[in-house]
Structure 1
Amino acid sequence: MLEKWEELGSGSSVDVFHHLSLMTLDNMLKCALGQNTDCQTRKSNEYIAAVHELAQLTEKRGAHLSQYFLNDFLYINCLPAGKRYKKARDSAHRYSEAIIQERRKTLDHPGSQDIHHGRKYLDFLDILLKAKDEDGNGLTDAEIRDEVDTFVFEGHDTTASGLAWTLYCLARHPGHQEKCRKEAQEVLQGRTELTWDNLSSLKYITLCIKESLRMYPPVQRLFRQLEKPMTFFDGRTLPQGSNVYISVRNLHYNPHVWGNPKEFNPLRFAPENSKNRSPYAFLPFAAGPRNCIGQHFAMNELKTAVALILQRFSLTPDDTLPEPVPEISLVTRVKPPGLFLQITAIN
């Protein structure tokens, strides 16, 4: 992605959400499946096209209350959009299933315990294939496929959203951007890769990422079903089994918790300012036993991307276009025309 931005020339206006979505999908496929799809440079790829089609169709389906959209049978068999959904779903499943079968054969080969396909680590698929329950039973191929699909689908667009809005916030606040750039330059020292030890040194970048996630949470709506009755402060009670909708954005803009909530202020997350704050006041990755399984992966990817981008580029808003407006769907996207920033290479 950074090479593509270099080729565009300094001062170019870029819809960063589109570029970042391809980059995070590329990362996810490499880390979860060990696949090099080159989706950032290739013009077409059946699996990538299926992933994007499924994401778009799922978002549009969620906006409808008609039984034709709510009922799986009616949606897939009666609506053109449902037929497109089934075609894309089957295509994505064929791709995942082929990779699972190929990897299973590799792991069953003698000596595979010490050789991970030219890598020094187990990827997500390896871990799923090796997983056993207390009785020694492993996951079926269908169960593994569902886990892989969830990890890939949920893991790339949410991270792209968090990263896009972080870059936007830094572009709008050049003072904070410059502090992040100096920190990245001190840690990276011209290198193009980060180590685990480097990630813990990106303290100010982490503060800025958290503040951006507060203002523009990638997932703005959480749904839960109560396992037991819940009584509120005013005495009213919701019975067991109630479906509860939680607005993450409202939590993140609660003026009783966050002073001047519309102000971009990364120091809110400094240790001395966070020690007395409820852990449930900030929920970019949800909370509890059903929180985001990939939150640590996502935060590390966000820190790495911000550091590498700011080491090479300066970001400014494209004020010739309308101010970007968040669009709430499965993830926090941006309404047309997009989220454009001017990218200037740092000599």
Structure 2
Amino acid sequence: MYLMIILSFTIFLCVIHLICNYNGKARELKKIPGPPDRFIIGNLPEVLVSAVDLMKLARKYAETFNGIYRFWVFPFSFVNIYNPQDIEILLSGMKYHGKSEVYKFLKPWLGEGLLISRGDKWMKRRKILTPAFHFNVLRKFCGTVQENSQRLVETLEKAAGETINVVHVISEFTLNSICETAMGTQLNAETTDAGKAYKDAIYELGHSLYKRFITIYMYYDFIFAKTIEGRSFYKHLKALHSFTQRVIVDRKKYVEQHGNTFNENQVDKTTMLDMLIAAEKDGRIDSKGIQEEVDTFMFEGHDTTAAGLSFCLMLLANHSDIQDKIVAELKEIFGDSTRPANMEDFSKMRYLECCIKESLRLYPPVHFISRDIHESVKLSNYTVPAGTICHIFIYDLHRRSDLYENPSVFNPDRFLPENSVGRHPYAYIPFSAGPRNCIGQKFAMMEMKSSISEILRKFELQPVTTPSDIEITADLILRNAKPIEVRFVKRLN
């Protein structure tokens, strides 16, 4: 009896092995270079490591292969790319604009918001939301962002000279900014506690999603829901949705009472949430759709910017000469004045912009994106068959030595106009590229210029965490495994 069971199971495994390794799709994939795989399980053992080691593994493969490699974990096949020519093929048009199966893990949280949706739904949502990030709207929010930057400086002044974990204070700043601008809601004492729970929940969700990503049996929703990680995920999901639902309800009440305006000092500022509420009245979106977009933008609008700012402050702290150049530029713009910055000032912060861009090159907050290959495509002269998941590793793209000389060195001069000529348009994509690029990238740049300029006008940044201390951990957003610490010392002049 037992012999028959063992024999049957062995035959079953052999059949699965033949199906997975010798069908047409498998034969095409095997032509693409990649790490050696194992019977049935493929490359599964390689990913059963810590979050830090998983990121190191991806970097190792990026150094081993030349811009493309395959990876197989039964029953999923992946092709990972990090060269601009292939990336342009996938991102420049709408043919491969559908997000891959990996993003389904985010659906309980973000629904079918702009990040995940595809086809007609994506196009309709993008059309509704695009006006919220028009230059004239950003100009009107400049004052709000500056006020938050000044509050950030006040927070830093209380701990001047001490070592500060910048991730915490910067996350609070970016959450306040996205709430007060895109959502039209100012956090008060009560909602601040809810906001803290929201930020904490995001970190916990990231951990659960990482565990799900490396554990194949958790790919199935009904199994994941019964695991410890699944229960933790849904517990923290309640905190996230509770916070964003409160933001929506508060704004709807305000709009009902006052229309789509702020107080007398903030007249005619239409927020992204106001536009969604108006679209609901017109029948272009329902309440579930509003929830999806608010969840999407609350996450992306604060967490990605916070990550970008944290790494940028760390880099500036470790390069006093570059700090001095930014301060000299700010002196030319403001002189001895302590007035707040405006949009015209931001446009003059050209060297600071180069520094931000270089920081986003080294530490892109969205370090990879993933596409569904629904029909075969040629990448690096290999045929990638339909049904393959294609990861675009932005982190490795940005560190290619054939695109950037001494790629691990922080050198803002790379982004001076004269040094950017001839660079492949898809060699630098911190905000993605093509039709599905980040809708809020101009807002993010304004927010980063506002906060960094305000900080450097008041403080000298001194290093605590160094680039060699950074250990990237696998997460939705690029994060360091430990705190990112900087010392803020008041400037004497």
Task: Report TM bin, short chain.
Answer: 0.7 to 0.9
Q: Which residue of 1 aligns with 2:365?
A: 218
Q: Distance in 2 between matches of 1:289 and 1:256?
A: 27
Query: What SS does the aligned partner of 2:357 have?
Result: helix
Q: Distance in 1 between matches of 2:220 and 2:334?
A: 52
Measured at CA, do residues 112 and 232 of structure 1 come closer, stay the same or move farther in structure 2, by a change above 3 Å?
Answer: closer
Measured at CA, do residues 61 and 335 of structure 1 come closer, stay the same or move farther in structure 2, by a change above 3 Å?
Answer: same
Q: Distance in 2 between matches of 1:227 and 1:276?
A: 32
Query: What SS does the aligned partner of 2:460 have?
Result: strand
What is the RMSD of the two structures over their aligned residues, measured on CA atoms?
A: 2.6
* Conserved? CA contact 2:368–2:394, under 8 Å: yes
- Structure with bigger helix share is 2
Where do residues 186-225 of structure 1 align in structure 2 (5 Å cutoff)?
Answer: 186-189=332-335, 190-191=337-338, 193-225=340-372
What residue identity is the alignment partner of 2:393? Answer: S
What is the percent sequence identity of the aligned residues?
Answer: 32
What residue identity is the alignment partner of 2:159? Answer: L
Measured at CA, do residues 267 and 322 of structure 1 come closer, stay the same or move farther in structure 2, by a change above 3 Å?
Answer: closer
- Provide the TM-score with structure 2 as the length reference: 0.63
Deviation at 1:32, TM superposition (A): 2.1
Measured at CA, do residues 321 and 205 of structure 1 come closer, stay the same or move farther in structure 2, by a change above 3 Å?
Answer: closer
Comparing 254-263 and 85-94, the one that deviates more: 85-94
1:55 aligns with 2:203: yes
What residue identity is the alignment partner of 1:71? Answer: Y
* Conserved? CA contact 1:224–1:243, under 8 Å: yes
1:29 aligns with 2:176: no
* Conserved? CA contact 2:470–2:480, under 8 Å: yes
Deviation at 1:257, TM superposition (A): 1.2
Measured at CA, do residues 97 and 60 of structure 1 come closer, stay the same or move farther in structure 2, by a change above 3 Å?
Answer: closer
Query: What SS does the aligned partner of 1:314 have?
Result: strand
1:71 aligns with 2:217: no
Q: Which residue of 1 aligns with 2:304?
A: 158
- Structure 2 unmatched ranges of 5 or more: 1-151
Deviation at 1:320, TM superposition (A): 10
* Conserved? CA contact 1:15–1:339, under 8 Å: yes
Deviation at 1:180, TM superposition (A): 0.6
* Conserved? CA contact 1:51–1:88, under 8 Å: no
Q: Which residue of 2 aligns with 1:94?
A: 242
Q: Distance in 2 between matches of 1:318 and 1:191?
A: 28
Deviation at 1:152, TM superposition (A): 0.7
* Conserved? CA contact 1:316–1:343, under 8 Å: yes
* Conserved? CA contact 1:32–1:125, under 8 Å: yes
Q: Distance in 1 between matches of 2:424 and 2:363?
A: 19
1:271 aligns with 2:417: yes
What residue identity is the alignment partner of 2:179? Answer: L
Query: What SS does the aligned partner of 1:63 have?
Result: helix
Q: Distance in 2 between matches of 1:322 and 1:269?
A: 23
Q: Which residue of 2 aligns with 1:6?
A: 157
* Conserved? CA contact 1:226–1:241, under 8 Å: yes
The alignment of Structure 1 onto Structure 2 pairs a total of residues equal to 337
Superposed CA deviations along residues 2-31 of structure 1, whole A, max 9, x for unmatched, are 11221223x211111221112111211111
Give structure 1 regions of 4+ aligned residues with deviation exceeding 4 angstroms. Answer: 319-322
Deviation at 1:207, TM superposition (A): 0.3
Deviation at 1:321, TM superposition (A): 12
* Bigger Rg, which one: 2
Q: Distance in 1 between matches of 2:164 and 2:446?
A: 24
